[in-house]
Amino acid sequence: MKPLVFMLIAGMALPAFPQNGKEREANVRKALDADRYTVDINYMIPAKGPGRPLTADYSIAVRNDSLLSYLPYAGRAYNIPYGGGKALNFSAPIESCEKTEKKGETEITIRTRNEEDSYVYRLTVYKDGNASLHVQPTQRESISFSGEMELEE
């Protein structure tokens, strides 16, 4: 009885095994094919100035025909509402979405707009789930980010 109790306690203390490479690739593909995924952003690269790691929880999410953007912004604004506006924090319908596959990566171009601006989000997702993002607003300088796809275990 004691060995069984010990094994149960030891099993609960161990963390879940991380996904192996093939499982991770399959989950990335599944999320991209379903047009339902989240990319956790952990690094920001403004058009001017040095890149910097991000300590808060920033992300973009695609939910079929909608884009949910929660991103910081650093850069020059050309024409913005009084008080700074929403910047890159909004939820909006996707006007168009184009996907192309190249050697282990998927490039996704998303066009969307809200009441303040029009945006082009160019997302590159690698087969291991790492991602890079370039955002081109009409009324602000472009900005780039990097992060990782959030995958279900």
Any residues with CB less than 8 A from the CB of 15 and at least 6 apart, and which?
A: none
Question: Whole domain around residue 138: which residue ranges?
Answer: 18-149
Is residue 108 included in any domain, yes or no? yes
Q: Tell me, what's the pLDDT at 133?
A: 97
Is residue 9 included in any domain, yes or no? no
Closest CA to 37 of 11, 60, 5: 60
- pLDDT, one tens digit per residue, over 64-79 is 899 999 999 998 888 8
- DSSP code at position 129: S
Instruction: State mean pLDDT over 70-97.
Output: 88
Q: Tell me, what's the pLDDT at 19?
A: 63
What are the CB-based long-range contacts (under 8 Å, 24+) for 50-56? none
- pLDDT, one tens digit per residue, over 103-143 is 889 999 999 999 889 999 999 999 999 999 999 999 999 99
Task: Tally the domains of the chain.
Answer: 1
82, 88, 90, 96 alpha-carbon torsion, rounded to 10°: 120
Q: Given pLDDT bands bounded at 50, 70 and 90, which one contains residue 44? A: very high
Q: What is the bridge-based pairing of β-strands 52-63 and 66-70?
A: antiparallel
On the question of pLDDT at 96 being above 60, the answer is: yes
CATH of the domain at 53: 2.40.128.410
Is residue 117 included in any domain, yes or no? yes
Q: Tell me, what's the pLDDT at 18?
A: 53
- Its pTM stands at 0.83
